[in-house]
Amino acid sequence: MRADSSTICVCRRGRWELGIAIGFLVPPVLVPNIKDRDKLAYHISIMFYIIGGVATLLFILVIIVFKEKPKHAPSRAQSLSYSLASPDASYLSSIVRLFKNLNFVLLVITYGLNAGAFYALSTLLNRMVILHYPGEEVNAGRIGLTIVIAGMLGAVISGIWLDRSKTYKETTLVVYIMTLVGMVVYTLTLNLGHLWVVFITAGTMGFFMTGYLPLGFEFAVELTYPESEGMSSGLLNVSAQVFGIIFTISQGQIIDNYGTMPGNIFLCVFLTLGAALTAFIRADLRRQKANKEIPENKIQEEEEEEGSNTSKVPTTVSEDHL
């Protein structure tokens, strides 16, 4: 039995989130908060050498191990997508078709708002924690680790739920709303003076906020089938990076001038906008429709009937089904 695409996507994003988790945990340990610039530069150089070595190893593994595509398509819809792909297809024409899809455009915006808020929060987390809890640089990294680990758990649970229910819009909307609720609770509890409370509220927020990211990719594939998954995923990433840059700069300025609570309220406002726009996305699940067009049991029955008919060639039937 082949793995469902929702599970595959969750695994891919899980590896990406694991890298972010390591990024939260390791740098505060390798680069301590010291005032001696020479020692600080030495620790930073050690960290960069380690990153360079790991990146080089991964580059070599990509060249040797990675393949262009799997030997067998993971689903009937993906197999049909391969057969419909034209070698003369234009990248620009595919982009134009995607932007004519209103549901996908809304998803690009809402995904960018959510992921951008996550990027801004991750970038400024150390600064926000230290403002309220001086000297807790290591714990700031651990809070970031908690956010990502909880998000990985949320992504796995969401992927399993999607495999069974196929409720893409409903799941995405619920997770988005819970992300907003988690962000509000985190904002209200950050300055209470209890670091263990921040761990709990940040982890709860991360469970939904980081867990939303693979949901967005899966929903995009459903809305844009049979367009290339790489195309839709690339546009989602572009949106996330653009909003991430805007949110990070804006929230950083707000924190410097007004404090952490107004900065987090700034993100809450845009998460509210994202949740509202998500409600307007129509669940046009094109990939699921393609999977259901020719049920497997119907194919087997037709092949048995055609096989018993000597006037028709069985191989022709197989080609027609394909």
Instruction: Provide block-wise average pLDDT over 10 residues at a time, the chain (322 residues).
Output: 47 58 73 79 87 90 79 60 57 82 92 93 89 85 87 86 84 92 93 89 91 86 81 89 94 92 94 94 77 54 46 40 38
Global pTM? 0.74
For 195, the token pair is 């670091």
For 92, the token pair is 């620009």
Q: What is the pLDDT of residue 314?
A: 42
Cβ neighbours of residue 43 closer than 8 Å, sequence gap 6 or more = 30, 31, 32, 34
What is the spatial distance between Cα 130 and Cα 194, in angstroms, rounded to a whole number?
13
The amino acid at 313: V
Residue with tokens 């932007």: 99
The amino acid at 160: I
Q: Exposure string (b/e) for 226-250, b if CB count within 10 Å is 16 or more?
A: bbbbebbbebbeebbeebbeebbee
Residues, the chain: 322
Q: What is the pLDDT of residue 276?
A: 94
Residue with tokens 């078709």: 97
The number of CA neighbours under 13 Å toward the Cβ of 71 is: 0
For 96, the token pair is 């134009």
Cβ neighbours of residue 182 closer than 8 Å, sequence gap 6 or more = 201, 204, 205, 206, 207, 208, 209
What is the spatial distance between Cα 213 and Cα 201, in angstroms, rounded to a whole number?
19
DSSP 24: H
CA-CA distances (angstroms) from residue 218 to 4, 13, 180, 224, 236? 11, 11, 21, 10, 11
Cβ neighbours of residue 175 closer than 8 Å, sequence gap 6 or more = 154, 158, 208, 211, 212, 215
For 175, the token pair is 């997770």
Element (H, E) at 74: none
Q: What is the pLDDT of residue 312?
A: 42
Cβ neighbours of residue 256 closer than 8 Å, sequence gap 6 or more = none
Q: Is the bond preceding residue 74 a cis peptide, omega within 30 degrees?
A: no
What is the spatial distance between Cα 175 and Cα 178, in angstroms, rounded to a whole number?
5
Give the CATH architecture of domain 101-300.
Answer: Up-down Bundle (1.20)
